[in-house]
Amino acid sequence: MPTARERARAQTTEAILAAARTQLAEVGAAALSLRAVAREVGMVSSAVYRYFPSRDELLTALIIEAYDDVGEAAEAAAALVAGRSPRERWLAVWRSVRAWGLEHPAQYALIYGSPVPGYAAPQDTLPAAGRVGVVLGAIATAADGGVVGDDDVAAAVAPDVPGTLGIDPRLAPAAVSAWTLLFGTVGFELFGQYENVVIDREAYFDHVAGTAATSVGIG
Amino acid sequence: MPTARERARAQTTEAILAAARTQLAEVGAAALSLRAVAREVGMVSSAVYRYFPSRDELLTALIIEAYDDVGEAAEAAAALVAGRSPRERWLAVWRSVRAWGLEHPAQYALIYGSPVPGYAAPQDTLPAAGRVGVVLGAIATAADGGVVGDDDVAAAVAPDVPGTLGIDPRLAPAAVSAWTLLFGTVGFELFGQYENVVIDREAYFDHVAGTAATSVGIG
DNA sequence: GGCGTGTCAAGAGCAGTGCTCTCGGAAATG
DNA sequence: CATTTCCGAGAGCACTGCTCTTGACACGCC
């Protein structure tokens, strides 16, 4: 059982994270100020350092949160359409990622934009980053389209990727490419690259999702 | 003809930009300090404001430079293989973009990562941003593969895009998607998303370039 | 040539930042 | 009860973007 001190510590940590989330959504990652976060929580900036050793560590915590959040959104979307066809499920997951990005642009920029801290302690973020990929891999495998590539390219992908995604190794390059295209498309929309280029973003996105589904063997 | 004053002004402006480029490559966009740039040029920070009204304007100038730089790299690569097959030319341009990104990661992050200033005066950057797309569009049109989409999706793309890219309107969605995939793939590699995912980055990249070529009708 | 005008670099200064250190009080441990 | 550990507050350092004022220099006009 947690002592009073431990409970207080967890509570304060959560309060700091909550304030940081608010700040992040309001001013973005670059302008996120540890002192402003401290003011919002009602304590002095030096006290925050008892909980997070630096601003970068606070950002890293927010990064992991964001990865988990978008992963949960994708999993929830997949669960909602569990009975439908693979193509419908694939589209639903793609849409959920786009919707999450539109709703949390600062978080999206934090995880899929340029890395702000010195490559943000990659080890900590790696497990959380793959959750969306796992969801997509399960759908593609369920479809079992049989369309794939050759073994040469398959060797370019890390050997444990097919295992964690639950897919055929020969499907891995196409799956990684589809995963890249998903986040690339959402990122381009969010970061303004589609300004004066794509008018109907929903229609365009659904179309891309469809071709990507085909590319991983979903009929 | 330029007066002595104008020449001096142009020279100082270029010196500031050169120092800013160095700083950008060394510490990244987020940590780029206007005062450090001023120190490197050998003047005081307030003097820099005679040439750039704010730090964001300096960054915007660097953004436009970066867009032009990657565009020139793509054009130069295309010129070098002008006589080859469309597929070879397509691959050469893709590779040139990746090579440029690997050589200038900070610049790449500046233009294809999260936008740091408040959407970075989009109007100024729009023309320069499309140069790579124009190069790719010309190659795809030269191939004339005939493979395309339907008119419904074509309407999702801005009506002037086919014109500036010199492509069939019905090819536009696939072209935009390929363009997105190119920069998404390079970005994922640069920003560490392929850590523990893609081992042989060159082989994987070439493979993606090949499938993208097929998707825009290059046989 | 001399003289106003406009441009420029320099310096001081302001509010804000990340981060460190020290200090007193409170909670947990013996 | 005594001691150790933890935590918040405050002061302070070096730095940032940016503004304002001051003094010097080059330019165009008479």
pLDDT in tens, B147-188: 667 778 999 999 999 999 999 999 999 999 999 999 999 999
SS3 (DSSP) at B198: strand
Residues 77-116 of A with CB under 8 A from B: 109-110, 112-116
A2 — pLDDT class (breaks 50, 70, 90): low
Q: What share of chain A is helix, strand, coil (3-state, %, to 5)?
A: 70, 0, 30
pLDDT band at A219 (very low <50, low <70, confident <90, very high): confident
Determine contact, residues A102/A45, Cβ cutoff 8 Å: no
- For residues B108 and A177, give the distance between their C-alpha atoms in angstroms, rounded to a whole number: 20
Nearest CB to A119; choose among B159, B192, B199: B192
* Residue B23 pLDDT exceeds 90: yes
Q: State whether A157 and B198 contact (CB < 8 Å).
A: yes
**What CA–CA distance (Å, rounded) separates A97 from A107?**
12
What residue type is B186 in one-letter code? Answer: V
Contact yes or no for A99/A182 (Cβ under 8 A)? no
List the B54 CA – D17 C1' distance (angstroms). Answer: 8
HSE of B14 in the Cβ direction (CA atoms, 13 Å)? Answer: 6
By C-alpha distance, the chain B residue nearest A109 is: B114
Whether B203 and A152 lie within 8 Å, measured CB to CB: yes
Residue A36 CA to residue A198 CA, distance in Å, equals 37
Distance of CA B87 to the CA centre of its chain: 21
A198 pairs with which residues across the strands? B157
Write the single-letter amino acid at A23: Q
- Cβ < 7 Å from nucleic strand C: A 3-5, 32-36, 45-46, 49, 53-56; B 5, 8-9, 12, 42-47, 50-51
Per DSSP, what are the bridge partners of residue A62? none
> Which element (helix H / strand E) includes A4?
helix A4-27
Q: Band the pLDDT of B212: cuts 50, 70, 90.
A: very high
Using DSSP's 3-state secondary structure scheme, residue B218 falls into coil
Spatial distance between the Cα atoms of A137 and A125, rounded to a whole number of angstroms? 19
Question: Any idea what the Cα angle at residue B188 is, between residues B186 and B189, rounded to 5°?
Answer: 65
Furthest CA-CA distance within chain B: 60
Q: Which helix (H) or strand (E) holds A71?
A: helix A55-80
Q: What is the pLDDT of residues B84-132, one digit of tens each?
A: 999 999 999 999 999 999 999 999 999 999 887 665 566 778 778 889 9
